[in-house]
Amino acid sequence: MKALTVLKEYLDYLEVERGRAVVTRRAYAHYLERFLTAAKITDVSDITEQGIRDFRLALAREDLKKATQSQYVIALRSFLKYLAKRGHETVPPERIELLKAPARQVEIISHVELERLLDAPDTKTLAGVRDKAMLELFFCTGLRLSELCALDRFIDLKKGELTVRGKGGKVRLVFLSPTACKAVAAYMDRRTDAEIPLFVSILKGKIIGRITPRAVERMIGRYGVQAGIIGKKLSPHTLRHCFATDLLANGADIRSVQEMLGHASIATTQIYTHVTNKHLREVYKAFHGKRRSEEE
């Protein structure tokens, strides 16, 4: 059967039956179309282990990041599973091994740096109160960038909680701190439009639609510089890291943090325990050994 025809069916299945986001569909389409082209596959029966190995070798020689290479492999394995499920004779997906990814490095800023970042926006302007609300929401909820950008304005701040739809269409509850509620309320009080998105792009004082993820990334980088946070690459994920490590450092159990972050696997959440353990070691060295050294 024609590979491109089956690929179209698979992408429809991914979006409709598996409930994956449109951006996920686009990404998988890119990965798989590139594989089919590079391996010169016109029919699904043309897919071979050797063709897959050659494609992976080509990716590695492009010096792509391991994480990016893994995305290609994950998409390919998912496609092969779909083919097997539909009765096509092809390479068994379990024969395709995933890359061993290096441990993720978590960029953490200090509490003082965090406070400077949160206080950086000029709240005399609409853009400033918007940015303040976004920063506070990021830190108090641990939302992903895509989740924050997708929020609509009709939320009940009195309840102090939000329902968000995360990766894979999974719904979870996140909680708002009084500080975040106050910041969002101040922002909403300044809005005089009827636009549905909670966070909007503003150009020369005019609202031009829902804010884009790239605009939020630039905003956080700009405030990082303004707050004097040097030598660290700040991103929306930095505040998600701060949210997780703050919870763990203050005694939250990892399962609860996993649920609040919306991680499918606890292994993803465990990267934060290494940061927290490092912090605890520093506290131990600073205070536990102090008395003994003084006695000596």
CATH of the domain at 173: 1.10.443.10
Whole-angstrom Cα distance, residue 175 to residue 257?
A: 12
Quick one: pLDDT band at residue 51, thresholds 50, 70, 90? very high
Q: Is residue 15 part of a domain?
A: yes
64 and 187 belong to one structural domain: no
Looking at per-residue confidence, does 156 or 29 come out higher? Answer: 29
Q: Helices 66-85 and 22-38 sit at what angle, rounded to 10 degrees? A: 90
First vs last Cα of the chain: how many Å apart? 80
Task: Report the pLDDT averaged over residues 110-133.
Answer: 94
Q: So what's the pLDDT on residue 5? A: 92
Task: Determine which of 115-124, 202-211, 267-276, 286-295 has the lowest per-residue pLDDT on average.
Answer: 286-295
120 and 88 belong to one structural domain: no
Mapped onto helix, strand or coil, the DSSP state of residue 276 is helix
Residues marked as catalytic:
144, 167, 237, 240, 263, 272
Q: Domain residues for 79?
A: 3-95
243 and 171 belong to one structural domain: yes
At 205, give phi and psi (nearest 5°): 85, -5
Task: Report the pLDDT averaged over residues 186-192.
Answer: 93
Residue 88 buriedness (CB in 10 A; 0-12 / 13-18 / 19+): middle
Average pLDDT, the chain: 86
Last residue of a domain, one of 95, 126, 161: 95
122 and 268 belong to one structural domain: yes
Query: Which residues lie closer than 8 Å to 161 by C-beta, 6 or more apart?
Result: 173, 174, 175, 176
Query: Which residues lie closer than 8 Å to 70 by C-beta, 6 or more apart?
Result: 98, 99, 101
Displacement of CA 181 from its chain's centroid (Å): 23
Query: Which residues lie closer than 8 Å to 210 by C-beta, 6 or more apart?
Result: 149, 195, 197, 199, 200, 201
Task: Report the pLDDT averaged over residues 262-278.
Answer: 71
Quick one: pLDDT band at residue 293, thresholds 50, 70, 90? very low
Q: Is residue 288 part of a domain?
A: no
Whole-angstrom Cα distance, residue 155 to residue 49?
A: 51
Token reading at 143: 């939302």
- What does the radius of gyration of the chain's CA atoms come to, in whole angstroms? 23
Q: So what's the pLDDT on residue 268? A: 72
On whether the CB atoms of residues 79 and 32 are closer than 8 A, the answer is yes
Query: Does 83 score more than 80 pLDDT?
Result: yes
Last residue of a domain, one of 95, 125, 148: 95
232 and 179 belong to one structural domain: yes
226 and 116 belong to one structural domain: yes
Token reading at 296: 């000596």
Buried b (16+ CB within 10 A) or exposed e, 141-175: bbbbbbbbbbbebebeeeeeebebebeeeeeeebe
Query: Does 278 score more than 70 pLDDT?
Result: no
On whether the CB atoms of residues 260 and 172 are closer than 8 A, the answer is yes
Q: Is residue 100 part of a domain?
A: no
Q: So what's the pLDDT on residue 292? A: 44
Whole-angstrom Cα distance, residue 44 to residue 3?
A: 5
Cα distances (angstroms) measured from residue 260 to each of 23, 59, 101, 144, 254: 23, 35, 24, 11, 10
DSSP class of residue 97?
P
What is the number of other CB atoms lying within 10 angstroms of the CB of residue 13? Answer: 14
Q: Is residue 57 part of a domain?
A: yes
158 and 84 belong to one structural domain: no
Whole-angstrom Cα distance, residue 22 to residue 169?
A: 11
Whole-angstrom Cα distance, residue 57 to residue 75?
A: 16
Q: Is residue 102 part of a domain?
A: no
Quick one: pLDDT band at residue 22, thresholds 50, 70, 90? confident
144 and 235 belong to one structural domain: yes
Looking at per-residue confidence, does 186 or 252 come out higher? Answer: 186
At 208, give phi and psi (nearest 5°): -125, 25
- pTM listed for this prediction: 0.66
* CATH code of the domain covering residue 47: 1.10.150.130
Query: Which residues lie closer than 8 Å to 143 by C-beta, 6 or more apart?
Result: 137, 164, 174, 240
Q: Is residue 290 part of a domain?
A: no
222 and 178 belong to one structural domain: yes
122 and 260 belong to one structural domain: yes
75 and 117 belong to one structural domain: no
DSSP class of residue 209?
E
Q: Is residue 243 part of a domain?
A: yes
Q: Give the number of domains in the chain.
A: 2
Q: So what's the pLDDT on residue 107? A: 66
